[in-house]
Amino acid sequence: MLARDCLRTEAAARSGHGYGPVDAAATVVRVVAPGSAFDWGDAGIGAGVMLALTMIGAGGVIAATRRRGGQPLSQRASAHS
């Protein structure tokens, strides 16, 4: 490699390889996290999920007790009286 080739390479590196001079300073982007404020949207989603799980659990309990072939509640109450 000749000395003039080295100079061309260094000049090309400084100039941005033909795309113009590279003099731009680094840009710092800061992302600020939101404060610790209460998020009602997240609370609503959590409450909805818990309600759905409670309903599924209650439905499972009802289905399991009816499959046992036991007496209906009205007959159980009169049998104990």
* pLDDT block averages, 10 residues each, the chain of length 81: 54 60 76 80 96 97 79 63 56
Are the beta carbons of 55 and 63 closer than 8 angstroms?
Answer: no
Largest CA distance in the chain: 112
Model pLDDT, residue 44: 97
Model pLDDT, residue 46: 97
Is 0.85 topped by the overall pTM? no
Task: Show the DSSP H helices in 1-81 as ranges.
Answer: 3-15, 40-67, 73-80
Q: CA nearest 22: which of 33, 11, 35, 6?
A: 11
